[in-house]
Structure 1
Amino acid sequence: MPIYLDLHELPEGITAEHVAEMHQADLKIEHEYNCRGLTYWCDEKRQTAFCLIEAPNKQALKNLHEKAHGEVPLKIIEVEDTIVESFLGRIKDPEKAKNTKLNIINDPAFRVLMIIETSNYLNRLESNQYTLFTQKFHNNVSKTLKKFTGRIVKKDNNSYLVSFKSVTDAVLCALKIQFQFKYVTPNLDPSTRRLNIALSSGVPITNKDNIFEETITLATRMCDFIKEQLVITTEVKLLYESENMNASIDDKMIRTLKPNEEKFLNQLIDFVEQIWNKPNFNVNDFSKALGLSKSQLYRKLTNLTGLSPNSFLKEFRLHKALNLLHKQYGNISEIAFETGFNSAAYFSKCFLEKYGILPSKYIQQHIG
């Protein structure tokens, strides 16, 4: 049977005790709807609760809540129990407190998510290459994550997605990984071995379809496109400072994205995802679509990414082309035109400049 996670916004004055009573009410009649309540998370501060329920379908879950206590969820998403556990740490109620009839769980589902990416885009695609560098890097990262109680949700040889309950743990862990990276191997080749870390925070359900999708998307984009090595959202910065008696974040070590920069980054990537393969698309169209003058677009984009609008679009297309080559979706000419380049020769020249290898050579090596 599918497992669902649902979101409830708590009315003013509703406490963790009230939510525990509602959970008990669900459990009393769950059999009538062929459901099984697994656990829930309650956050009095943010006035939210999330229920994890096994149910035949979403409607059965809604009917159960409606009859038990009348609090129908705002949104329901289907989830995998293993994924929920890796993000949130459990898929059943914590051990009941002794001598209490009501198991009150005041345990927020709010998390700080960390994305770590090491090596350039080409090497990240070739994630089956397990070198001495990656071994040392992974050993260091594993120890550091354990020390700061980070839960690994997903990893491969070149990237991590990690969940933290504590903002302080997440920030200190990121700084430690950044510091250790310099000493993992001597004489690093900066073109292939680079490190990017991004921290974003949020709750498991928003208006997106998948668990923590909004938070993961923002952190991934920060990691992929922001020019600094370590970048965090304003929310993470403010939470860190409030947890640490207003100890301030060192701007030289950590880039904090302002809310308007976060918004611009998401608008930018959402837009570029739609138009990147149109060959005649130019900077005028770019600035017009984003409601900015050419100089405003140039200033905002270089401030975030270090790239001009033309260079940014070209790199975006090259990443898409590399993906297609890697997946063997066509020959070089087909992929060049598919990704918005006007000629295969120009595409090959740009590809060589970016990745240090001709597309033809890459195909030989990859297929070979």
Structure 2
Amino acid sequence: MPIYMDLHDLPDGITAKDIAEMHQEDLKIEHKYNCRGLTYWCDERRRTAFCLMEAPSEQAVIDLHQKAHGAIPQRILEVNEAIVESFLGRIQDPVKSQNTSLNIINDSAFRTLMVVSLKKKVLRNKEFETLNAAIRGYHKSISNIVSNHNGRIVKEKSNTYLMSFDSVTNAIQSAIKIPEIHNCVITPDLEFKIGISAGIPVTKKESIFEDTIKRATNLALISKEKVCISNEVKDLYESENQNNSIPNEIDSLNVQEEKFVAQLMEYTEDNWSHSNMTVSDFQKSLGYSKSKLYRTMMAILGKSPNSFLKEYRLNEALQLLDKQNSNISEIAYKTGFSSPAYFSKCFQERYGVLPSKYSKQIA
């Protein structure tokens, strides 16, 4: 039977005790709707609550809540049980809340998410095996750092990690330590791209934590020498640490910069593969003049619009080469380059090797 997570916006005056009582009312009649309540999360500060329930359909969840206490959820998502546990750390009531007359769980579902991407700077043949071995060796070290800071690795794919933390401070401390692994190993052609954002699991999006994952991914993509965090994460860190400033290893974006990055990435993701896409298209989409767009991108990303678009396409091309499902010409056109020759030239300038030679190295 499917698992659903729902969102309830809490009216003023509603407490964790009230939510616990409503949860008990659900449990009393859940059998009538072929449902099974698993647990819930309540955040009095942010005025949200989330229920996790096994049910035959979304409508069954609505009908149960309506009959039990009348509180209809604002949003319902079908979720994967294992993914929920990876993000939130549990799919049942906490042990301390069991075997009591009323399970009051004042436990927020708000999480800090971190994306860590290990990127190869160059792909020269003589360093290729050493580089890949170093990347494989980092996995255990990264896992240990995250675990030691009460975090969980939700997903790991293509040298990119998605992690979940209960506190901003733990996430930032992990983010500072992870690149230190690199300093202990001689792999100069590898860089760590790290972004941190925070949010709730259920929004208007179709997947759990989708908004927060997207923001963290974007922040990792644009990060330069330092870890890049959202403005909200910065504020939360300072709140958790008695208004102490964020560490020097961290860069934060303000609200307007975050908005710009979100618009830039959304437009890029929808159009990057079109070979006729130009900087003028960025200007029109974002509503910026040529000079303002250049200044803004240099300030936030450290790249000009042309350099950003070229590097984005080359990164996508590298991923396609790693999959080995297409030849060089196909990849060139798929990633928006005007010709295979121009693609090969750009790829060699960026990675220090022709794409044809790189493809043979990984074959």
TM-score, normalising length: structure 1: 0.91
The 3 A distance-change label for structure 1 pair 158 and 285 is closer
Quick check: 1:286 aligned with 2:282?
yes
CA shift at 1:351, angstroms? 1.1
SS at match of 1:65: helix
SS at match of 2:104: coil
Q: Deviations over 1:5-30 (max 9, x none)?
A: 11000011100011001101111111
SS at match of 2:142: helix
The 3 A distance-change label for structure 1 pair 78 and 337 is same
**d(CA) in 2 for partners of 1:169 and 1:77?**
28
Does structure 2 conserve the Cα–Cα contact (< 8 Å) formed by 1:230 and 1:255?
yes
**d(CA) in 2 for partners of 1:122 and 1:34?**
56
Does structure 1 conserve the Cα–Cα contact (< 8 Å) formed by 2:199 and 2:212?
yes
Return 5+ residue gaps in structure 1 as ranges.
Answer: none
Aligned to 1:153: 154
Does structure 1 conserve the Cα–Cα contact (< 8 Å) formed by 2:143 and 2:153?
no
Does structure 2 conserve the Cα–Cα contact (< 8 Å) formed by 1:130 and 1:157?
no
**1:247 aligns with one of 244, 251, 260:** 244
**d(CA) in 2 for partners of 1:95 and 1:360?**
56
The 3 A distance-change label for structure 1 pair 55 and 262 is same
**1:209 aligns with one of 201, 206, 220:** 206
CA shift at 1:98, angstroms? 7.8
The 3 A distance-change label for structure 1 pair 197 and 226 is closer
The 3 A distance-change label for structure 1 pair 23 and 88 is same
**d(CA) in 1 for partners of 2:273 and 2:122?**
20
**1:220 aligns with one of 217, 223, 234:** 217
CA shift at 1:89, angstroms? 0.8
Identity of aligned residues (%): 54
TM-score, normalising length: structure 2: 0.92
Does structure 2 conserve the Cα–Cα contact (< 8 Å) formed by 1:116 and 1:198?
yes
Quick check: 1:358 aligned with 2:354?
yes
Aligned to 1:345: 341
Aligned to 1:265: 261
Does structure 1 conserve the Cα–Cα contact (< 8 Å) formed by 2:122 and 2:350?
no
- Note the 1:130-145 alignment, pairs <5 A: 131-134=132-135, 136-145=137-146
CA shift at 1:264, angstroms? 0.8
SS at match of 1:119: strand
Q: More displaced, 221-230 or 101-110?
A: 221-230
Quick check: 1:320 aligned with 2:310?
no
The 3 A distance-change label for structure 1 pair 223 and 306 is same
**d(CA) in 2 for partners of 1:100 and 1:146?**
30
Quick check: 1:194 aligned with 2:225?
no
CA shift at 1:288, angstroms? 1.6
Over aligned residue pairs, what C-alpha RMSD do you find? 2.2
Does structure 2 conserve the Cα–Cα contact (< 8 Å) formed by 1:40 and 1:50?
yes
The 3 A distance-change label for structure 1 pair 262 and 94 is same
